[in-house]
Amino acid sequence: MALKQHKDDQVRYDQQVDNSRQYVLPFVEQTKPIGKGMNVMEIGTGEGGVLVPFMEKGAFCVGVDLNPIRIDLANKFFAKEVAEGKIEFLYKNVYDEDFLQRFKGFFDVIILKDAIEHIPEQEKFIPYLRNFLKEGGQIFFGFPPWYMPFGGHQQIADHKLGMMPWYHILPKPLYRGMLKMIGENEGVIKELMEIYDTRISIERFERIVRNSGYKFLNKQHYLINPIYKYKFGWQPRKQSKLISAIPFFRNFVTTCVYYTIG
């Protein structure tokens, strides 16, 4: 069945804030200390919780999302800070010309936390992000590799059998058929099929980054995703360097990867 944070806005927001404060911000600051006068954007911001620690350190933050409901929620959570000009939330497509012109060369850091696996045409999208970076700017990616046990995001399913591990890597017709067979609702099936179409592995991500002319600045693979502390009560655990060095196999036992590129 779907986890609580998938249906409770406040719980989801609180988890975003805590996860970012404990894991995302410290990882980013290993290569890019955050402070006043800096600009930070999160793409796929949702309720905006990931941006809180960056805003607290004095950065001006922009959260952008294609879901107007979640942008409305973010504006409610941050009503005071929005009014004070500390943060801004936009229901906008980053490919829009007016968005590009406003923010071209504007950001010190761009954050994509659990977002890149939902975005189509990653080969086009990742190099496009360079348009928004200042000189010396960096991009953070945190995502679950497709082949990991829950890489299909099947935990959003309403039916408890939908949370079985690895069945999302079946051929698409079989995967869809299985979801229909267990009675999953059509809205969830549609979302899971969209994730199937935009799936991304560690190897494919790294290949796109290299082909786009970026450099890898920092990397951390996790055996147990830090966000699982909230979802399942499991303590985060870094992946072993040996496993992280084994192409393809590492995807099956690595539940999350963090990268900064620039």
- The domains located in the chain, with CATH, are 4-145+199-261 (3.40.50.150), 154-197 (no CATH)
| pLDDT, average across residues 34-59 | 99
What would the pLDDT profile of 14-27 be if each residue is shown by its tens digit?
Answer: 999 999 999 999 99
| 108 HSE (CA, 13 A, CB side) | 17
The DSSP symbol for 48 reads S
- C-alpha distance from residue 177 to each of 153, 167, 170, 172, 190 (Å): 17, 11, 10, 8, 12
What would the pLDDT profile of 116-151 be if each residue is shown by its tens digit?
Answer: 999 999 999 999 999 999 999 999 999 999 999 999
What would the pLDDT profile of 141-192 be if each residue is shown by its tens digit?
Answer: 999 999 999 999 988 888 887 778 999 999 999 999 999 999 999 999 999 9
What would the pLDDT profile of 99-110 be if each residue is shown by its tens digit?
Answer: 999 999 999 999
Contact 12, 5 (CB under 8 A): yes
What would the pLDDT profile of 214-231 be if each residue is shown by its tens digit?
Answer: 999 999 999 999 999 998
Give 76-92 as a 3 state SS string: HHCHHHHHCCCEEEEEC
Q: Is 96 helix (H, G, I), strand (E, B) or coil?
A: coil
Helix axes 186-197, 172-181, angle to 10 degrees: 160
| Token couple for 185 | 């609702």
DSSP letter string, 210-225: HHTT--EEEEEEEEE-
Instruction: Give kind and range of the element (H or E) at residue 135.
Output: strand 133-143
Instruction: Report the pLDDT value the prediction gives residue 161, as an integer from 0 to 100.
Output: 74
Of 15, 119, 14, 19, residue with least CA distance to 64:
119
